[in-house]
Chains A and B, each alone.
Chain A
Amino acid sequence: ETGVTQTPRHLVMGMTNKKSLKCEQHLGHNAMYWYKQSAKKPLELMFVYSLEERVENNSVPSRFSPECPNSSHLFLHLHTLQPEDSALYLCASSQEGSTGELFFGEGSRLTVL
């Protein structure tokens, strides 16, 4: 139990589907993140929310749309994805003002057909 829960753990979708990834943190943190992890590549930061306000959007295509309704929940809405978007999507949280270490969820493995 990492304190950060992601659902679903596995998702297969076609290029025309719409789906969402969900993340919930039980640590009382004030910042949440989406990272993309592809094989043999560094973790790529996609979005950062601090105090429920989006503070980072790393040139991510508009087919990825984040939503942070409160400090404990984070969503990643997916629409008309491409096969190259297949990857592990990791959610993380941290407490800004401390050492800033990230606490990760176990990820959602996405396959786009």
Chain B
Amino acid sequence: GQNIDQPTEMTATEGAIVQINCTYQTSGFNGLFWYQQHAGEAPTFLSYNVLDGLEEKGRFSSFLSRSKGYSYLLLKELQMKDSASYLCAVRGYDYKLSFGAGTTVTVRA
């Protein structure tokens, strides 16, 4: 089975940095994904990690440690438009994605 945990909510100030943690216990591992979902909109792909280490994409970075079953998404220089839900998803041995419940990030001025 799949078990993916992430915090329910986080609040941060515009211009600050926020780190969203994700821990997982899954049947096999074939990659970890982060998605962003604004209210009333489709989830959109942010990042993909399959090897240990840090992947950087502009203001967003994602880290993976397979031995610890742990990932984080780092959002830098927060902007109001970053207020959204962030979904952690793990692809298991069957190559299907299992999702966490999502972390709602609220950015305040």
* A-B interaction: yes
Residues on A facing B (Cβ under 8 Å): 2, 4, 40-43, 45, 48, 56, 90, 96, 99-107
Q: A105: which of B42, B87, B100 is its contact (CB, 8 Å)?
A: B42
Q: Can you name the residue of chain B whose Cβ is closest to the Cβ of A6? A: B42
Interface residues as binary, B87-100 with A (CB distance below 8 Å gives 1, 0 otherwise) = 10101000111111
The answer to whether A100 and B91 touch across the interface, beta carbons within 8 angstroms, is yes
Complex CA distance for A80 and B108, rounded to whole angstroms = 44
Q: A42-B4, A103-B45, A106-B42 are in contact. List 6 more A-B contacts (CB 8 A).
A: A40-B101, A42-B102, A43-B87, A43-B99, A102-B33, A106-B41
Cβ-defined contact, A102 with B45, below 8 A: yes
A101 touches B45 (CB 8 A): yes
Q: Which residues of B contact A102 (CB under 8 A)?
A: 33, 35, 43, 45, 97
Closest A residue by C-beta to B95: A100
Taking CB atoms and an 8 Å cut-off, the chain B residues in 1-55 that contact chain A are 4, 8, 31, 33, 35, 40-45, 48
Contacts of A103 in B (CB 8 A): 45
Residue of A nearest to B99 (CB): A43
